[in-house]
Amino acid sequence: MKKPLHPLTLWISAILLAIGVVALDNAWIALAIVGAVALLVFARRDGSPWERSFNLSLRIGAVILGIRTIVGILIGVPIPGSILFTLPILDLPSWMPGIRIGGAVTLERLSSSLHEGVIIATMIALFGAATSLTSPHKLLRVTPSFIYEIGITLVIATSLFPQLVTSARRIRTAQKLRGMENIHIRSIAIPLLEESLSRSLQLAAAMDARGYGISRKRSRYRPQQWLMRDNVIVLLTVAASAVMVAR
């Protein structure tokens, strides 16, 4: 089993890389970063339930990329250039000048939409990778006491996707074992909602049983150490982000 990194290492790296990607605004570099992050996730996966959140983040990014491309083609400000094809134009009110639906779709307009979609998808993939490689429970342990309540909220929020993915896979497997052939989103929506509500009640009961909120002091059974490799990863990420911002 691979020795895990410090819980904050990948989150700090993801934030720094996200800043660099936005500052550089280069779709090819963004795709290269996604590829490198995918290799890292593949190399350090350990079979934990939250590791599937990276695959989910890639799917969400692909959907957003498709939506952004379609919206960029149909709606937007005309961009001159090489015309690829022409769509019927829908007349808009006079108080919406400069914006049109349809019209000539140029190569520059299409590439601009794809470019923006890739940047957004890269941001989602970066934080999806940080979520998939970091245990939310370990992340909560290193949260400072003065923001512990905020940390609880953030950890619950960041662990939502992994839990939903695990629940959906379990429900789909159970339905296949029962002989259901056509499994779609409507067939798993109600069981998924029911399981999510049940998990919320169990979490509330567990927090109440452990005396959450009674005392401001916390104890740590096994403190998480910041090792040299964490320094190396963060320093490399800082250097890469600084280069992207400087350019």
pLDDT digits (tens, 9 = 90+) for 34-45: 999 999 888 887
- 26 and 129 assigned to the same domain: yes
- 237 and 203 assigned to the same domain: no
Task: Determine contact, residues 245/19, Cβ cutoff 8 Å.
Answer: yes
- 124 and 238 assigned to the same domain: yes
- 57 and 110 assigned to the same domain: yes
Place of tokens 């290492």: 9
Smallest Cα–Cα separation from 128: which of 25, 62, 64, 41? 41
pLDDT value for 212: 66
- 115 and 7 assigned to the same domain: yes
- 158 and 85 assigned to the same domain: no
- 62 and 75 assigned to the same domain: yes
Asked whether residue 14 carries a pLDDT value surpassing 70, the answer given is: yes
Higher local confidence (pLDDT), 83 or 77: 83
Q: Terminal CA-to-CA distance of the chain, rounded, Å?
A: 39
- Average pLDDT of the chain is 80
- pLDDT tens column, 122-163: 999 998 888 888 776 677 667 666 666 666 676 666 667 667
Q: What is the mean pLDDT of residues 77-88?
A: 81
Crossing angle of the two packed helices 160-177 and 107-133, in degrees rounded to 10: 90
- 72 and 85 assigned to the same domain: yes
Q: What is the mean pLDDT of residues 201-222?
A: 67
What percentage of the chain has pLDDT greater than the value 90?
19
Asked whether residue 72 carries a pLDDT value surpassing 60, the answer given is: yes
- pLDDT tens column, 17-67: 999 999 988 999 999 999 999 998 888 877 776 677 788 899 999 999 999
Q: Is 38 exposed, middle or buried (0-12, 13-18, 19+ CB in 10 A)?
A: middle
- 155 and 177 assigned to the same domain: yes
Asked whether residue 79 carries a pLDDT value surpassing 90, the answer given is: no
Q: Is 127 exposed, middle or buried (0-12, 13-18, 19+ CB in 10 A)?
A: buried
Smallest Cα–Cα separation from 158: which of 8, 4, 3? 8
Domains contained in the chain, number? 2
pLDDT value for 176: 82
Asked whether residue 93 carries a pLDDT value surpassing 70, the answer given is: yes
- 215 and 233 assigned to the same domain: no
Half-sphere exposure of residue 229: CA atoms within 13 angstroms, side-chain side: 7
pLDDT value for 146: 61
Q: Is 68 exposed, middle or buried (0-12, 13-18, 19+ CB in 10 A)?
A: buried
Task: Determine contact, residues 192/167, Cβ cutoff 8 Å.
Answer: yes
Q: What share of the chain is helix, strand, coil (3-state, %, to 5)?
A: 70, 5, 25
pLDDT value for 60: 92
* pTM: predicted TM-score of the whole model, two decimal places: 0.69
> Residue 161 is part of which domain span?
143-221
Q: In the structure encoding, which two tokens stand for residue 245, read together?
A: 């911002």
Distances (CA, A) of 187 to 52, 58, 140, 156, 179: 21, 23, 34, 26, 13
Higher local confidence (pLDDT), 153 or 245: 245
What DSSP character marks residue 221?
S
pLDDT value for 9: 85
- 213 and 151 assigned to the same domain: yes
What percentage of the chain has pLDDT greater than the value 70?
81
Buried b (16+ CB within 10 A) or exposed e, 130-146: bbbbbbbebbbbebeee
Place of tokens 């990194």: 5
- 128 and 208 assigned to the same domain: no
